[in-house]
């Protein structure tokens, strides 16, 4: 293990272990291993925290995204084959959900200052076939504006949040997951709130969508042995629901630990070869799922990080349109910012559980000395 590990999940979960043990025991002794009170309670608690009318626990974040899109298609709210605007530098799962639902991703080059979908000028990408905007709060940075809300409302587009990376973040005091028509959460173990395995959720104020997602995730059935849809089995496991009920109340505290590390990096890494992420700007928060720097000398930088025992990762080395499975989606060179980011980005350790502010100061001191 490097001196400064990128992320060590055992360390992340260590403070919760006594309570997790009780939660797992509770499920184990309950005799109820699918659905039940743990899942229902988790859904109620997530909806309350997010400020939405409904939360539906599902198997993972990708399934949360695809169930939202397939739900809207089943309801007739999104036409089959409709276009969905999405950022070109997102994690591939965002795009997998769009194509899985039989929809067409329209990839937009990110705003270089936020690394998120540009909030101005989105109208340029809207066509008569546009049905939705898939907005990703990438790296934990809230990406939202009144103009985005207005454009979606005026053009009749569903505004969907991929909130896999920004749980607990606020915009004007409103939580991510409540900023659009529907939102997908992931509780993959490395996310800011992680389960002990795969887990996810959908939040929405739309009662019809919530019921459709719930049915689709349960073989397409809301009444036993009556199948409204050709559905799936994408239910949230009660063991993971019980785990998440332990961790969810600490989302603010976990995010605060990340913020403290980010503040050290932002104020103490001074190096012309390392471009820092933009500090959050009011009214949107940043919960620092990743701390992503950019360097034209990435290979030398990662070698330097290795030599100094600093863990790192790359989010993400290949944008979706250059993946083998998406040949033909967009030609190489047509999304220059996404492509440049994939070549130049490096993620530094940011989990406040594994990286103390003292560690962050030591890492910043080392990085000030980086020369290729």
Q: How far is the CB of 197 from ligand PLP (least distance, A)?
A: 10
Which range binds ligand PLP by CB under 6 A, 14-22, 55-63, 144-152, 248-256?
A: 55-63
Helix (H) or strand (E) holding 292: strand 291-294
Compose the 150-189 pattern: x for residues touching ligand PLP by CB under 6 A, - for all others: ------------x-xx--------------------x-x-
Region 200-229 residues binding ligand PLP, contact defined as CB under 6 A: 200
Q: For residue 62, state whether it binds ligand PLP (rule: CB under 6 A).
A: yes
Expressed in percent and rounded to 5, the helix, strand and coil fractions of the chain are 40, 15, 40
Q: How far is the CB of 270 from ligand PLP (least distance, A)?
A: 29
Three-state DSSP at 200 gives strand
User: Which residue, among 276, 271, 310, 301, has the nearest Cα to 291 in the 3D structure?
Assistant: 276
Which range binds ligand PLP by CB under 6 A, 10-18, 88-96, 173-181, 342-350?
A: 88-96
Q: How many residues bind ligand PLP (CB under 6 A)?
A: 15
Q: 285 or 359, CB closer to ligand PLP?
A: 285
Longest dimension (CA), the chain: 66
Q: 110 or 269, CB closer to ligand PLP?
A: 110
Q: Which residue, judged by CB position, is nearest to ligand PLP in the bound state?
A: 61
DSSP, residue by residue, 9-32: HHHHHGGGHHHHHHHHHHHHHHS-
Q: 202 or 362, CB closer to ligand PLP?
A: 202
User: Which residue, among 38, 62, 88, 333, has the nearest Cα to 202 in the 3D structure?
Assistant: 62
d(CA 141, CA 172): 14
Q: What is the dihedral of CA 38, 58, 193, 45, to 10 degrees?
A: -40
Q: 109 or 198, CB closer to ligand PLP?
A: 198
Q: For residue 90, state whether it binds ligand PLP (rule: CB under 6 A).
A: yes
Inter-residue contact 176 to 161 (CB < 8 Å)? yes
d(CA 108, CA 201): 26
d(CA 23, CA 13): 14
Which range binds ligand PLP by CB under 6 A, 60-68, 78-86, 101-109, 124-132?
A: 60-68
- Sorted by sequence, the CB contacts under 8 Å of residue 242 that are 6+ apart come out as 23, 24, 26, 27, 38, 42
Inter-residue contact 51 to 175 (CB < 8 Å)? yes
Q: How far is the CB of 164 from ligand PLP (least distance, A)?
A: 3
Q: 88 or 363, CB closer to ligand PLP?
A: 88
Q: 62 or 152, CB closer to ligand PLP?
A: 62
Q: 184 or 274, CB closer to ligand PLP?
A: 184
Q: Which of 94, 212, 255, 347 binds ligand PLP (CB under 6 A)?
A: 94
The residues binding ligand PLP (CB under 6 A) are 60-62, 90-91, 93-94, 136, 162, 164-165, 186, 188, 198, 200
């Amino acid at each position: 293990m490097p001196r400064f590990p990128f992320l060590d999940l055992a360390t992340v979960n260590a403070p919760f272990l006594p309570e997790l043990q009780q939660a797992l025991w509770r499920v184990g002794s309950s005799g109820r291993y699918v659905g039940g009170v743990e899942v229902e309670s988790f859904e109620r608690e997530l909806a309350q925290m997010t400020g939405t009318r409904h939360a539906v626990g599902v198997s993972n974040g990708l399934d949360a995204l695809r169930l939202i899109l397939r739900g809207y298609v089943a309801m007739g709210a999104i036409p089959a084959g409709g276009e969905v605007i999405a950022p070109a530098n997102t994690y591939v799962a965002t795009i997998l959900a769009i194509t899985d639902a039989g929809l067409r991703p329209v990839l937009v080059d990110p705003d270089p200052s936020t690394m998120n979908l540009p909030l101005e000028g989105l109208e340029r990408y809207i066509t008569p076939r546009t049905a939705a905007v898939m907005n990703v709060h990438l790296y934990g940075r809230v990406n939202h504006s009144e103009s985005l809300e207005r454009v979606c409302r005026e053009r009749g587009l569903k505004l969907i949040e991929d909130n896999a990376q920004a749980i607990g973040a606020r915009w004007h005091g409103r939580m991510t997951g409540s900023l659009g028509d529907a939102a997908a959460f992931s509780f993959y173990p490395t996310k800011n709130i992680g389960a002990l395995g795969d887990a996810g959720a959908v939040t929405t104020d739309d009662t019809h969508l919530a019921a459709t997602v719930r049915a689709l995730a349960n073989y397409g059935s809301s009444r036993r042995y009556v199948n409204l849809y050709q559905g799936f089995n994408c239910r949230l496991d009660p063991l993971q629901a019980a785990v998440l009920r332990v961790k969810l109340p600490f989302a603010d505290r976990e995010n605060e630990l990340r913020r403290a590390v980010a503040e050290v990096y932002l104020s103490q890494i001074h190096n012309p070869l390392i471009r820092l992420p933009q500090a959050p700007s009011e009214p949107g928060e940043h919960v620092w799922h990743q701390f992503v720097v950019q360097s034209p000398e990435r290979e030398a930088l990662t070698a330097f990080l290795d030599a100094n025992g600093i863990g790192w990762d790359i989010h993400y080395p290949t944008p979706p349109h250059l993946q083998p499975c998406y040949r033909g989606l967009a030609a190489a060179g047509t999304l220059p910012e996404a492509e440049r980011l994939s070549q130049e980005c490096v993620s530094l350790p940011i989990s406040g559980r594994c990286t103390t502010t003292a560690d962050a100061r030591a890492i910043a001191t080392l990085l000030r000395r980086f020369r290729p």
